[in-house]
Chain A
C-alpha cells in the first residue's frame, strides 16, 4: 500500500473530488458555486486521465476529454448564461444552513465508507477506498439537491452526482465506453431538459425557487 506513487495519486485525486463536493456544499452564492462545479469537473477529468494512464486504457482519455469539455467548460458557461438571463445571481437560498449541511455531509461520507468497505472486503484496499469516495461524491450530490431550494443549484447537485458515478466507473476496471458515452449524453440531455424547465418555471412563477411549486400545488408548510 505504501510507496506506490501511481495509486497514491489516484487516491489523492479521488479524495480531492470529495473535498470539492464539500466546497460545493459550503458555497451558497451561485457564481461561486458554478466555479466550484467547474473545478469539480476539472478534478474529475484529471482523475480519469490519470486512471487512463495507469490502467493503460486509451478510451478513458476520451472520457476525460468529455468531462473536461462538457462538464468543465460548456455546462458551467451555459449555466452562467442562464443565471445572468434569469437575473438571480445574487440570490442565496438554502433549506438548512451551511453548518448542518456540512455535518450531514460528514455523516454521509462515514456511511459511504462503512458500507463500501464492508461490502468489498476482499478487494484491493485502494480500490475499496476509491469506491467509497465515489459513493460519497454521489451521496453529497444528492444532499446538495435536497438542501437547496434554487433550481439551478439543484441542477449543479445533479451534475456532481453524475461526476461521482463516472469516478466509480473509471476506478473499477472495465466499464465499456458505450455505457460511459451514453451516461454522459443522457446527462447532457437531462441538463437541456432541466434548462428548458427552468425557463418555463421562471415564466410562469417569476422565480426559480421550487417552493413556489409547492405553494402552487396548495401544500402548506
Chain B
C-alpha cells in the first residue's frame, strides 16, 4: 500500500517535472532541423519560473471564473497524466485509469478553457474558443472510436490492463491496431495544437487557436496554462507509448531494478516521440482552419474502419 502510494507520488512528480523538458526537446530539435541554434533544453523551466514571478494583470471584465480556471484545467490534466502507466503499471490509482475517464478529464479541462476564452469578451478569445470547440467536437468522436477498437482487441478500457495485454504480444500484428495507431496520432496532433492544425509558436490572428484563447492570461495563470499544455503533450505521447510500445513497463509487483529499467525505457520513449514530432512538424506546412474537419474526419474514418474490421472479421 505504502509502496503503491510512493510509486503513484513518484509518477505524479515525474510527469510534471518531465513535461517542460519534453517541450524544450521538441523546440530544440525543430530549431536544429532548421539549422538554427535554438533555445537551451531547460528554457521552458525558465519561462515558467519567470512567469510565476510576474504580476498577474487581469482584464477589466474578468469574472472569478477567469481566475479559477487555470487551476481547474491544470488539476484535471495533471490527474489524467498521473493515471497513465508510464514507467510502471502498479500504481495506487491504476484501477481508475480508464481511457474513457482520461478523455473525460481532458474534455472537461477543454470546456473550462473555452469558457475562459469567452469570459473576458474579447474577439480573439471568442474566435479561439469557437475554433477549439469545433476541433474538439471532431476529435472526440475519433478518439472514442479508437478507444472502441483498442478495447475490443484488449478486452478492457483500463489502461494498465491494456498495456499488460499488448506487452504479451499475443495479438501479433493486426490491421485494426495499425489503423488505431494512425488515428490516435492524428487526434493527438489536433488535441495538442501541433502544426498541421495549429501552430504553437505563432500569434498570427488568422491562424491561432489555442493561443487566441489564452491571450488574456498573464503571470502565474499563464504559467499554469503553459504547463498544462506541456503536460497534455506528455500525456498523449505516454498513452501512445504505453499502448503501442509497451516494452519495459514494470509490472504491478516489480522490484526496484525493474522500475529503474521502466523509467529509462519511458525516458527513451518520450525522447523518440519528441524527435518524431519535431521532424514531422518541420516537414509539414500548417493547413487552413477549414481543412481541419477533413483531417479529423480522416482520423474518425480510420477509427471506424478499425472497429468495422474487427466486427466483420469476427462475425462472418
Contacts and interface: CB of A to CB of B under 8 A. Distances in A.
A8 B173 CA distance: 5
A110 B308 contact: yes
B252 interface: no
B76 interface: no
A113 B310 CA distance: 11
B141 interface: no
Nearest to B171: A2
Interface residue tally on A, bucketed by range: 20 to 34
Contact of A19 (B172, B182, B308, B312): B182
A5 B301 contact: no
Interface of A is mostly: helix
A87 interface: no
Interface residue tally on B, bucketed by range: 20 to 34
Contact of A12 (B173, B182, B313): B173
A158 interface: no
Contacts of B312: 110, 113-114, 117
Given A99-B293, A118-B316, A15 B178 contact: yes
Interface of B is mostly: helix
A26 B298 CA distance: 8
Contacts of B174: 8, 11-12
B201 interface: no
Contact of A99 (B173, B178, B297, B302): B297
B309 interface: yes
A102 interface: yes
B305 interface: yes
Contact of A26 (B172, B293, B294, B304): B294
Interface of B: 170-175, 178-179, 182, 293-294, 297-298, 301-302, 304-305, 308-309, 312-313, 316
24 contacts: A2-B170, A3-B172, A4-B172, A5-B172, A8-B173, A8-B174, A11-B175, A14-B175, A15-B175, A15-B179, A19-B178, A19-B302, A22-B302, A97-B294, A98-B297, A99-B294, A102-B297, A106-B301, A106-B304, A110-B308, A110-B312, A113-B312, A114-B312, A117-B312
